[in-house]
Chains A and B, each alone.
Chain A
Amino acid sequence: MSRDPDFEQEVRRVSRRSFLWGGLALGGAVGVWQAILRSPRSDGMLAPLRAVNGFNGALWQRMFREGAQAPTFEPSLAGARFNGDIGLRSPLNLADWRLRLEGLPGGERLLTLDDLLALPRTEQTTELMCVEGWSQIMTFAGVRMTDLLDALGSPTIPPFVGMETPDGRYQVALDAASALHPQTLLAYEMNGRPLEPRHGAPLRLAMPVKYGFKQIKRIGRIRFTERPPLDYWHARGYDWFAGL
């Protein structure tokens, strides 16, 4: 077998150049990886990832269609799954409970459960999607957010809505469009019965356009704000928008 030195040299020359480029590209990729891993955290998430996830959220918020509705199911398919009691561990006297509303024109309001029961009642059976990956078809009944705001004479609201438990330990932040979605309910019933304490009695949020962690149980206070309010899981590395 004859060897051609010129040809062998040509192969080596072509290979050397390409492998050099390959080495540089590999070094660049490792550099990017290391830079991301070593970046500071922003609300519990590595800053570059937070930036892209924030962009994703803003993009979907702009593309959010209030007309797009979550699929509904037969109430007979409804079940229950319990997950999470942050904000529910403090004692609560249901007789003393009031819903405090802040940030609407006309000042602060305090509503009783009877005030809410007197408003139009909406019932819906939708699939609650947990960020963990499981989902559960559930029936909720309560007052549409839009019906409540109409009754209060404030059909339009500031860009953000913050909700928290009476003890202030659990908070969620919402964009106005999601809060005004026709399937966003302040629910007082689940699967045909009054809410159980562990599912958020006396009042919880049921909104299929967001993951379960935004559907706060045992609401004590709702604030309408110009700036994004505190959000428990956002502060711990989760996406702010969390819209489905």
Chain B
Amino acid sequence: MPKALRTKHSLAIRWFHWINFPVLLVMIWSGLLIYGANRVYRIGVGDWTLYAFDTAFAERFNLRFRLAEGMAWHFTFAWLFVLNGAAYVLYLVFSKQWRHLAPGRGALKGAWRVFLDDLRFRRNAPEAEGYNSAQRFAYSGVILLGVLSTVTGLAIYKPVQLSWLTAVFGGYQSARWIHFWITGLFVLFIVVHVLQVIRAGWNAFRAIITGKEVVEES
């Protein structure tokens, strides 16, 4: 069968993606430097703790006594994160490319089938044109994470001037907790995303650099 090059990602999408990647890493790292001054979060229920992000964790990753540094980086790169993210969302809206990402009817069931297929439980992922249902949930969900991390961030940043926003997230400590775990979900997204790209192979990775993918023409 003859092969052809087909445009997969527009130039704008590729810039948004590759600007966001290092900026998000700086946001996560500087956020951890801030968190390192108040090491209170853990995964657990009641007395039972699966994993604690405690002093030992902070020391392993050199997060302690770097609060001023962390805040300085965080509130500088927050501008890039928000402006790039806002430009991305506006681009999706005006180019109508949001249709490629939004989960459609029956997407929940489809995503579950893709998930089972990915884990090798069953081989019955539905055929999809463009992104499959699981990808649609992941890529729409990560936009939602970006919005939530921005508004919870503002709720923590200005809890008096924007006290109504802080109240929406259940108060100051609650907003901090949500902000921290949104970061956890971002990290989870990045890990799964990178593993899936590795699994999909060179054609998928090349497409986010060149914009083109090689397809077989029927």
In the complex, which residues of chain B have a beta carbon less than 8 angstroms from the beta carbon of A130?
38
| Stretch of B69-77, B111-119, B187-195 with 4 or more beta carbons under 8 angstroms from chain A | B69-77
Tell me, yes or no, whether A115 is within 8 Å of chain B by CB.
no
Closest residue of chain A to B172 (Cβ to Cβ) is: A135
In the complex, which residues of chain B have a beta carbon less than 8 angstroms from the beta carbon of A18?
209-211
**Contact of B71 with A60 in the complex, beta carbons under 8 Å:** no
**Contact of B75 with A14 in the complex, beta carbons under 8 Å:** no
Tell me, yes or no, whether A44 is within 8 Å of chain B by CB.
yes
Question: B27-59 CB contact bits vs A (8 Å, 1 = yes)?
Answer: 000000011011010000000000000000000
Question: B69-89 CB contact bits vs A (8 Å, 1 = yes)?
Answer: 101110110010000000000
Q: What bracket does the count of chain A residues touching chain B fall in?
A: 35 or more
> Given the interface contacts A15-B206, A52-B76, does A68 sit within 8 Å of B68 by beta carbon?
no
Closest residue of chain A to B71 (Cβ to Cβ) is: A239
8 A Cβ contacts from B204-218 to A: 206, 209-212, 214
In the complex, which residues of chain A have a beta carbon less than 8 angstroms from the beta carbon of B163?
68-71
Q: What bracket does the count of chain B residues touching chain A fall in?
A: 35 or more
Closest residue of chain A to B173 (Cβ to Cβ) is: A135
> Given the interface contacts A22-B18, A133-B34, does A237 sit within 8 Å of B72 by beta carbon?
yes
**Contact of B18 with A25 in the complex, beta carbons under 8 Å:** yes
| Stretch of A3-11, A85-93, A156-164, A219-227 with 4 or more beta carbons under 8 angstroms from chain B | A3-11
In the complex, which residues of chain A have a beta carbon less than 8 angstroms from the beta carbon of B172?
127, 129, 135
In the complex, which residues of chain B have a beta carbon less than 8 angstroms from the beta carbon of A14?
5, 210, 212
In the complex, which residues of chain B have a beta carbon less than 8 angstroms from the beta carbon of A238?
68, 71
**Contact of B209 with A70 in the complex, beta carbons under 8 Å:** no
8 A Cβ contacts from B144-182 to A: 158-161, 163, 166-167, 172-173, 176
Q: State how many angstroms separate the Cβ of B163 from the closest Cβ of chain A.
A: 5
Q: State how many angstroms separate the Cβ of B185 from the closest Cβ of chain A.
A: 20
Complex CA–CA separation, A69 to B167 (angstroms): 13
In the complex, which residues of chain B have a beta carbon less than 8 angstroms from the beta carbon of A127?
159, 172
Complex CA–CA separation, A180 to B37 (angstroms): 30
Question: A62-80 CB contact bits vs B (8 Å, 1 = yes)?
Answer: 0111001111000000000
Tell me, yes or no, whether B106 is within 8 Å of chain A by CB.
no
**Contact of A133 with B71 in the complex, beta carbons under 8 Å:** no
Q: State how many angstroms separate the Cβ of B79 from the closest Cβ of chain A.
A: 7
**Contact of B173 with A244 in the complex, beta carbons under 8 Å:** no
In the complex, which residues of chain B have a beta carbon less than 8 angstroms from the beta carbon of A68?
160-161, 163
**Contact of A237 with B69 in the complex, beta carbons under 8 Å:** yes
Tell me, yes or no, whether A50 is within 8 Å of chain B by CB.
yes
Tell me, yes or no, whether A117 is within 8 Å of chain B by CB.
no
> Given the interface contacts A49-B73, A135-B173, does A4 sit within 8 Å of B161 by beta carbon?
no
Tell me, yes or no, whether B130 is within 8 Å of chain A by CB.
no
Tell me, yes or no, whether B3 is within 8 Å of chain A by CB.
yes
B interface residues (Cβ-Cβ under 8 A, vs A): 2-5, 18, 22, 34-35, 37-38, 40, 67-69, 71-73, 75-76, 79, 158-161, 163, 166-167, 172-173, 176, 206, 209-212, 214
Q: Given known contacts A65-B161, A134-B40, A243-B161, what 14 new A-B pairs fall within 8 Å (CB)?
A: A4-B2, A11-B5, A11-B214, A15-B210, A45-B69, A45-B72, A50-B72, A60-B158, A68-B161, A70-B159, A131-B37, A133-B176, A208-B160, A238-B71
21 A-B residue pairs with CB within 8 Å: A4-B3, A11-B212, A14-B210, A18-B209, A19-B209, A44-B68, A46-B72, A50-B72, A52-B76, A53-B72, A63-B161, A71-B163, A127-B159, A130-B38, A133-B37, A133-B40, A134-B38, A135-B173, A238-B68, A239-B71, A239-B72
